[in-house]
Structure 1
């Protein structure tokens, strides 16, 4: 594997403060231009009887040090301070730190394993070919995501048929303008081609143009060059794009978007109480009114059912799926009004008043109990179809979060009932996830978190994936990071935001975290069970059109 390669450097002796998984590399002057941070190398010794071979990555450096004199010597100091007039410079070399990623136990098959050993001094540091890197890191797959940073010839792919990747959920994090939306759009394009159904909860209206080819290359030369480099041509989605927006609200693309409403009876009442941010006393009053209405409705429904069964025309079961069935928001509001009127204490009446005020705010939105509901939601689960829920003009967070929670519940229920696996794999993309479930309110949103945990635990067996996107990861509860086995981290400059992700991603070299604040747009750190180690990647440009970029 390495006999034909010339070493770019050699392993140095360790100091007393050395680390088990890092070694110091000395680079001769003539090979300085052949080394860069992020480079993958082979560590191999043919000068001793130690025939172990290791895979490593340059994580620090290169730093430069004089060969024969100290950097603080008069000679070295004069060479620097008088560099504009004195034409001499001490001979020097480069120093790097390399992270040991594993031991290669089969040189021909390039099989990588863990190791409790370390390379000895004078071990040769050898460059690697793109094919060697791709095989050792496991970068093959059918979802083309981008390139390994520093290696234009090495493409990074995800394996969409591997249950430990997308079905175990995904998180995309980064500051504004770091490339989060491009990354998610690339995944949507690729998974749609592979037959996945995609549902996007779009709070900014950024995804509504994906059926059209990208136009950025026409006005931005650097985008055109990027597309040529990554082998991408402008192209819209081919398997169908459906856009929905809440009834009564404006939308980013009115000529294509369909209005939709929510049946109040489809909203899980515990989650509704959490979304309305009710305190314990208000939640108790909310539940009392809800259960009383539910009991009355069950009695009423049973009477209607008996009456219907006496009619010959009532044989058709589909009559139960009319536009408005079950409890309505209007009925619930009337029940709360009645309970408030009958309240026995000022405290009860005060709690009912708060509940009533928040329910009336929902009623004024006009979204509930209309003829434009989505039925059983099965139209969202078509092979390759992308469904965008445009919430960009809804300033009512209650409505937005009720839409999100209802979609999660109904789609999860459809997948659970699909015993024969007739439905396609499904990914649900939640933009600005911190506005749906936040760290500050995690203690009062246990029902919501339980549903997310349940979807995560049971959904992966049914090919249901959640994708959380956030520019404020520190505002997300820690449970969300635990649900995301694959994390795509773009530039993050805030210490709190970065620390929140670090805590959930063990085994990442600290030097890689140091890269995050200075990353350019489109570059990211990928932590995934598909890859043995975290990798740095340059994400390809999306081929479909992005909103809010032109």
Structure 2
């Protein structure tokens, strides 16, 4: 494709300083003509400094309009600053880096969306298999910028971070990306850790048949799937070495009792094999009774009392929901991943809004670890690649090493560092990137940065973004809803993107106070039923 359309020429190069180029522009607006869209010279627009040296692709980083006096007449002087992002190779494709810098007086041409997509490898000449790698998510923010496509393999193969302050459009962006994936790919596997029950609405309607919605009343995380560290973290936080040794021996013994004789030697305390927690409590009580002094009884009694208290607490019912059925891990994952032959599902939404605050972090860590272990033991990473959407990531993988978060951080950071090899990817979603594990964020290959108003958040993100975005980084606090700076592996050339609206929307829109305070409560509004649901911990959906 021609990268030097004559009518798109805006001026000539006046100075070159490393990767920074200054252009004297003759025009800042190019009208529509001959089927080519109208274009404006604006921050984030792409240009080609093309001449005998080749095609150098740059991004507009600043536009300065000055008034200068020439022979007593004041004239407008348009200066455009560019940042080099790469060049076009012999095959007509974009590549990072340049062999030769543009020269002074080199012509500068604006690039429209079709041209940009062409050098990124998104054009009609692709094979069907190559086309399947890309899916549309929105449009470039610049006038005439064209449609934006993500490379699915690079987006999820190297993790992605979606960050932005409350109300900037994080949830709608996540929903739109997922809906686009559902549209283009018949059998994806994406699992949402939904802490606020936001995504139920986004995957109803046309997506309902493909969505496995596990609401809080049906969510389960059987206690026998926990490894020893996780079990102690939930049932006896801060247990000493003596209690840990006692639990290890008893749980391992109970698990071995539930397998065939020839398999006992390969069963460990961490094996996801059923054991009856009531039997564990009885064994602890028996050991306490067998001791002759209060001092010797104490460790067994403390364990028994603590485990019994958690076991009877209705807030922790999710640990016991499958106790009677003794559900095996294979059946659990078959349902979780939606691979049942009769009812195949491709999006799994785990409503975790009812998790008790004191075990929310550990529970998320357990789920992440189970998913990683499943992919680890599936010897071919391409059999069933899985993406995990970590909503509100700052609340359970913070950038701190307190004991409260250690277990979850360890599990998620392991996926961040090793998941690519085993076909498991992270989509890290947060409103406070400054509070999220730097280890996790540094492993993300693509950043989708929506509006950020906090200086701390902006500074952390800037350190992770490439220098080529230039002045665009200064716009983080003024981006529109669903508008983001997108950089990294999923898009060869970084830039501003306005994401399409999701259809339907997640339950994350701002509350319409004007309507509620005008119309009043709906007919049949019942405070008693709300209090009853609160008391019984029943999550009741509303339409």
TM-score (norm: length of structure 1): 0.73
**1:328 and 2:289 are equivalent in the alignment:** no
CA RMSD, 1 decimal: 3.8
The residue aligned with 2:360 is 400
C-alpha separation in 2, matches of 1:533 and 1:95 = 23
Q: Give runs of aligned pairs for residues 185-334 of structure 1, distance below 5 A.
A: 185-193=175-183, 194=185, 195-213=187-205, 236-237=206-207, 239-247=209-217, 259-271=218-230, 282-283=238-239, 285=240, 287-300=241-254, 302=256, 325-326=274-275, 328=277, 331=280
CA offset at residue 336 of structure 1? 10
The partner residue of 2:158 within 168, 175, 185 is: 168
Give yes or no for contact 1:130–1:151 (8 Å, CA) kept in 2. Answer: no
CA offset at residue 433 of structure 1? 0.8
Give yes or no for contact 2:112–2:146 (8 Å, CA) kept in 1. Answer: no
C-alpha separation in 2, matches of 1:458 and 1:472 = 24
Give yes or no for contact 1:442–1:477 (8 Å, CA) kept in 2. Answer: no
The residue aligned with 2:534 is none
Alpha-carbon distance change, 5 to 396 in structure 1, aligned in 2, over 3 angstroms: same
Q: Give runs of aligned pairs for residues 54-203 of structure 1, distance below 5 A.
A: 54-61=56-63, 63-68=64-69, 90-106=74-90, 109-115=92-98, 117-138=100-121, 141-151=133-143, 154-160=146-152, 162=153, 164-193=154-183, 194=185, 195-203=187-195
Give yes or no for contact 2:202–2:502 (8 Å, CA) kept in 1. Answer: no
Give yes or no for contact 1:55–1:102 (8 Å, CA) kept in 2. Answer: yes
CA offset at residue 299 of structure 1? 3.5
C-alpha separation in 2, matches of 1:329 and 1:452 = 31
Give yes or no for contact 2:171–2:508 (8 Å, CA) kept in 1. Answer: no
C-alpha separation in 2, matches of 1:492 and 1:333 = 54
The partner residue of 1:529 within 485, 489, 492 is: 489
Residue aligned with 1:543, SS: coil
CA deviation vs aligned residue, 1:489-520 (integer Å, no higher than 9, x gap): 11111011122223333444342211211101
Which consecutive unaligned segments of at least 5 residues does structure 2 have? 31-38, 123-130, 263-271, 512-543
TM-score (norm: length of structure 2): 0.74
Alpha-carbon distance change, 359 to 413 in structure 1, aligned in 2, over 3 angstroms: farther
C-alpha separation in 1, matches of 2:347 and 2:8 = 50
Give yes or no for contact 2:13–2:22 (8 Å, CA) kept in 1. Answer: yes
C-alpha separation in 1, matches of 2:151 and 2:434 = 29
Residue aligned with 1:176, SS: coil
Alpha-carbon distance change, 29 to 237 in structure 1, aligned in 2, over 3 angstroms: closer
CA offset at residue 200 of structure 1? 0.8
CA deviation vs aligned residue, 1:130-157 (integer Å, no higher than 9, x gap): 2221122356743221112215562222
The residue aligned with 2:351 is 390
C-alpha separation in 2, matches of 1:531 and 1:325 = 46
The residue aligned with 1:51 is 53
Give yes or no for contact 2:165–2:453 (8 Å, CA) kept in 1. Answer: yes
C-alpha separation in 1, matches of 2:282 and 2:19 = 63
More displaced 10-residue stretch of structure 1: 469-478 or 323-332: 323-332
C-alpha separation in 1, matches of 2:158 and 2:369 = 18
Q: Give runs of aligned pairs for residues 482-501 of structure 1, distance below 5 A.
A: 482-501=442-461
C-alpha separation in 2, matches of 1:268 and 1:336 = 22
C-alpha separation in 1, matches of 2:259 and 2:227 = 24
**1:463 and 2:423 are equivalent in the alignment:** yes
CA offset at residue 246 of structure 1? 3.8
Which consecutive unaligned segments of at least 5 residues does structure 1 have? 76-88, 214-235, 248-258, 310-322
**1:379 and 2:326 are equivalent in the alignment:** no
Residue aligned with 2:318, SS: coil
Give yes or no for contact 1:324–1:370 (8 Å, CA) kept in 2. Answer: no
CA offset at residue 324 of structure 1? 9.3
Residue aligned with 1:294, SS: helix
CA offset at residue 413 of structure 1? 2.6
